[in-house]
Amino acid sequence: MTLQWQIGSETNLLLFFPKPISLDKQKKCWALADIIETMPEVIEVIIGMNTLSVFSHPLAWDEFKALQNKLTALLEEIPEKTIDGKHIEIPVHYGGKYGPDLAAMAASLEMPIDAVVDLHTSAIYTVYFIGFQPGFPYLGGLSESLHFPRHTTPRTHVPAGSVGIGGEQTGIYPFASPGGWQLLGQTDTDLFDLTKDSPTLLSAGDTLCFTAIDIHE
């Protein structure tokens, strides 16, 4: 696996693990982030889906290249970090007004609607990171049989609680917003609540499963 830090800007370095997306690669991202965050040159490390983005203090060019070399040395033997997270069940209303894309997606996959729901609810998903919106979980573990492209033209309004698929990932919209994912259903579970000590329901390393409350044609 050939990895290389790419220069994003005068204060930013980027690392992309090659596809396919995997939990093992995400564990390496978690471990690298822990190490890099302790470096005095670094302001922030942002974890993505099998990616890392490192932001540094303003540095002279030779100092910035030295940081790049230091980060490159970490790639010679990358540890993994396992997070002992909690497990959450997310109940979902599938199809109908809750999941307006379910029927069309099932037809495109040449699968019965029930089979799509069975596949979506039978997996245990791992939260790789939180992004896009406060509390929005990017999940690994989606069956390859359900990989499906995003809409070419995103919706201007996706209801809060919508459960969707975008490419190789599935996730949940905590808030209403524009979005291009295929919408399979909707949950009443709050993923973000400022009245709680920990506003975000899910964190990186947590696992979850979806359960079907009902399925609408």
Q: Are residues 156 and 121 in the same domain?
A: yes
Q: Are residues 123 and 195 in the same domain?
A: yes
Question: In this structure, what CATH number is given to the domain that contains residue 99?
Answer: 2.40.100.10
pTM greater than the 0.85 cutoff: no
Domain boundary pick from 28, 51, 74: 74
Encode the chain (217 residues) as per-residue pLDDT tens digits.
578 899 999 999 999 999 888 899 999 999 999 999 999 999 999 999 899 999 999 999 999 999 999 999 999 888 888 887 899 999 999 999 999 999 999 999 999 999 999 999 999 999 998 888 888 999 999 999 999 999 999 999 999 999 999 998 899 999 999 999 999 999 999 999 888 888 888 988 999 999 999 999 8
Write the CATH number for 14.
3.30.1360.40
Beginning with the edge strand found earlier in the chain, give each strand of the sheet holding 42-48 in spatial order. Answer: 6-9, 12-16, 51-56, 42-48
